[in-house]
Amino acid sequence: MKRKIISLLLAITLLALPLLTATSCDLLGGGKNNGDGELKEGQVKVVFYHTMGEALRTVLDKYIVEFNKLYPDIIIEHKQVGGYDDVREQIKTEITVGDQPNLAYCYPDHVAAYNIAYAVKPLDELISSTKVITRADGTTETLGLTQAQIDDFIDAFYAEGAVYGDGKMYTLPMSKSTEVLYYNKTFFDANGLVPPTTWDEMEVLCEKLLELDPDCIPFGYDSEGNFFITMCEQLGTPYTSATGDLFLFDNAENRAFVEKFRSWYEKGYFETGELSGVSYTSGLFTKAPAEEGNCYMCIGSSGGANHQKPKNDDGTYKFEVGITSIPQVDPSNPKVISQGPSLCIFDKADPAEVEATWLFAKFLTTNVDFQAEFSMTSGYMPVLESVKDHPVYAAELEAANGKEGLTLLTAKVALEQANAYYTSPAFNGSSTARDQVGLLMQQALPLTAEKDGDVAAKIKALFEDAIYKCKYDAGLQ
């Protein structure tokens, strides 16, 4: 009898082992942040996924305290989930099991993916709501956005919420970045050069730089995908559409600019991130002149300014960095990409949860102090016009220089081109289009007539192939 009991116990233990390890591993491995304490009556919890590093989380925590002074019953639980792709994959999985967060950092492509499952809450009703809410300090606010608040958003950033082809608004902009041109100011000044404003000037400049320093690579462009899409915008040629024929980028004009940059590439005018083998060209830019393979200019994200600092090991700078807008086709109608996270709210059965999430999202995106402090810490642009008038922010921007102050300097340049931002349409398949045009550039640029024969035909085939793969992935092929 005793033996029987023992063996039964043993079997139960073995059966329970997986579950036991599940819990014990979590304890040992630091566990998952599932918050602490149960909710009290009347409290609502908002789970927020983002990609903020430690410095930004400190800023966020500070303003959550501010927010809780107004809404003590809304408990904010936030969590850094790796990078943007990790957030997307995590949420996609969670949607399939119905356990998605309330609020998340997002790119338009992510929202399009979540909406395959109709998981994102359209914001139009909330924005236009006139419901009046009384806050804990006795003051009131309308649930929706006032016209003044809407007007304060930088137009292009606000418009990004409605790029989904159905006219609905799905996101609020959180903090933005763009591409800027970093250049070696020390070298430019010494040689009487000015940074290019158009691609034609860029061409002349590249020639000149190669004369001055035959071993250099005049400029680096980090993202092949952005390069392609931005050229489409600048030229006004079709790229994609959220309705109808989705993938429109295979046309003569686009093939022509790819061919043009291919010939530049062949002449050694530039290098791109993936082609350089390390995803970013900032490594080439931060080399001092005469170090092998150095670039004098680099077109990269304004959010990555920290990586563009040409610092020596002892903390001194190899040269001073200048920042300006990227070259344009037509300077009177400039186009630069708008990147960086927006906020999307997930639909929940409980309307109180959605409303609480909205209040918090609205707080983050419309609070000038928060936007200013967040921007100063991250180097990303604030999404509100009025942040420019924020006294501390304005003073900091004024003092920014091309060395330690590089992050702020990028924000300054980025803010000055507020009229130029664009966002591409987002739909199920838009991220594939982005990947495919990036891959297209990656394959087209290194083509040479000497090695590959009929380059034009090869480029044509690459375009056709990219379209095919976009359609295939979207299930249209």
Partner 1 sequence: MTDQKNFAVFEADIQKAQARQRVVRIAVQVFLYLFLIIMALIVIFPFYFMLISSVKDLAEYRLPVQTLWPNKIILHNYIEAFHTANLGTLFSNTLYVGIVSTILSLIITVITAFVFARLEFKGKNAMFAALLATMMIPGELFTITNYQTISNFLGLRTLGRELGSKDLIALGDWKNTFTVLIVPFLVSVFYIYLLRQNFLQIPNELYLAAKVDGTSDIKYLWKVMIPLALPTLISITILKMMGAWNSYMWPRLVANDEAHRLITNGLRTAFTSVEGDVNIPVQMAAVAIVSAPLFLVFVFLRKYIMKGVSRSGIKG
Partner 2 sequence: MVGSKKPWKAWLYLSPAIVLLLIFTVWPIINTVRMAFLEGYNALAVAGGKKFEFGFANFVNVIEYRDFVTCLKNTVLLCVLTVPISTFLALVISVCLNAIKPFRRMLQTIFFLPYVTNSIAIGMVFAAMFNMVGRNIGGKNELILTAGIINNVIEFFGGQAINWINKGSSEVANMTVMVIYIVWNALPFKILVLLGGLQSVNKQYYDAAKVDGTSRLRTFTRITVPLLSPMITYVVITGFIGGFKEYSSIVGIFGEKMGPTSNPYRLDTMVGFIYRDLANQQGRASAAALILFGIIFVVTMLNLYISKKNTHY
Residues that bind partner 1 (CB under 8 A): 3, 6-7, 10, 14, 17-19, 21-23, 25-26, 28-30, 32, 34-35, 82, 86, 90, 93-94, 96-99, 277-280, 282-284, 286, 307
Residue 317: CB minimum distance to partner 1, A: 16
Residue 273 φ/ψ, nearest 5 degrees: -55, -65
* Residue 89 or 253 with smaller CB distance to partner 1: 89
**CA distances (Å), origin 404, targets 58, 232, 316:** 21, 34, 10
Residue 117: CB minimum distance to partner 2, A: 4
> Residues near 103 by Cβ (< 8 Å), separated by ≥ 6?
46, 47, 48, 49, 343, 344, 345, 346, 357, 360, 361
Here the tokens at position 112 are 């399009």
- State the binding partner of 118 from partner 1, partner 2, none, CB within 5 to 8 A by kind: partner 2
- State the binding partner of 352 from partner 2, partner 1, none, CB within 5 to 8 A by kind: none
**Residues 383 and 341: beta-carbon distance below 8 Å:** no
The Cβ of residue 112 has, within 10 Å, a number of other Cβ atoms equal to: 23
Q: In 173-251, which residue ranges form alpha helices assigned H by DSSP?
A: 185-190, 199-212, 224-235
Q: What is the DSSP letter of 268?
A: T
- State the binding partner of 446 from partner 1, partner 2, none, CB within 5 to 8 A by kind: partner 2
- State the binding partner of 32 from partner 1, partner 2, none, CB within 5 to 8 A by kind: partner 1
What is the rounded distance in angstroms from the CA atom of residue 406 to the CA atom of residue 388? 17
Residue 157: CB minimum distance to partner 2, A: 27
Here the tokens at position 208 are 């000149």
- State the binding partner of 34 from partner 1, partner 2, none, CB within 5 to 8 A by kind: partner 1
Four-CA torsion 128, 44, 362, 392, nearest 10 degrees: 160
* Residue 375 or 430 with smaller CB distance to partner 2: 430
Query: Which of 113, 462, 70, 67 minimizes the C-alpha distance to 255?
Result: 462
Residue 113: CB minimum distance to partner 2, A: 7
User: In the chain, count of helices (H) and strands (E)?
Assistant: 20, 14
* Residue 255 or 309 with smaller CB distance to partner 1: 309
- State the binding partner of 315 from partner 1, partner 2, none, CB within 5 to 8 A by kind: none
**Three-state SS for 336?**
strand
Query: Which of 360, 355, 367 minimizes the C-alpha distance to 131?
Result: 355
* Residue 100 or 338 with smaller CB distance to partner 1: 100
* Residue 205 or 384 with smaller CB distance to partner 2: 205
Instruction: Compute the C-alpha angle 63/64/70, nearest 5°.
Output: 95
Q: Residue for token digits 């608004």?
A: 169
Residue 142: CB minimum distance to partner 1, A: 31
Segment holding 296, helix H or strand E: strand 295-301
* Residue 348 or 471 with smaller CB distance to partner 1: 348
- State the binding partner of 475 from partner 2, partner 1, none, CB within 5 to 8 A by kind: partner 2
* Residue 34 or 140 with smaller CB distance to partner 1: 34
- State the binding partner of 282 from partner 2, partner 1, none, CB within 5 to 8 A by kind: partner 1
Residue 87: CB minimum distance to partner 2, A: 13
* Residue 18 or 29 with smaller CB distance to partner 2: 18
**Residues 180 and 300: beta-carbon distance below 8 Å:** yes
* Residue 94 or 369 with smaller CB distance to partner 2: 94
Residue 470: CB minimum distance to partner 2, A: 12
What is the rounded distance in angstroms from the CA atom of residue 84 to the CA atom of residue 71? 29
Sheet hosting strand 321-324, strand order edge to edge: 270-272, 217-221, 295-301, 179-184, 321-324
What is the rounded distance in angstroms from the CA atom of residue 445 to the CA atom of residue 450? 14
What is the rounded distance in angstroms from the CA atom of residue 127 to the CA atom of residue 150? 9
Residue 40: CB minimum distance to partner 2, A: 31
- State the binding partner of 22 from partner 1, partner 2, none, CB within 5 to 8 A by kind: partner 1
Residue 30: CB minimum distance to partner 1, A: 5
* Residue 68 or 90 with smaller CB distance to partner 1: 90
- State the binding partner of 415 from partner 1, partner 2, none, CB within 5 to 8 A by kind: none
Which residues are bridge partners to 272 per DSSP?
A: 221
Residue 300: CB minimum distance to partner 1, A: 10
* Residue 93 or 128 with smaller CB distance to partner 1: 93
- State the binding partner of 90 from partner 2, partner 1, none, CB within 5 to 8 A by kind: partner 1
What is the rounded distance in angstroms from the CA atom of residue 56 to the CA atom of residue 105? 13
- The residues of the shown chain that bind partner 2, judged by CB under 8 A, are 7-8, 11, 14-15, 17-18, 89, 92, 95-96, 98, 113-114, 116-119, 214-215, 217, 265-268, 271, 274-277, 292-293, 439, 442-443, 445-446, 448, 451, 465, 468-469, 472-473, 475, 477
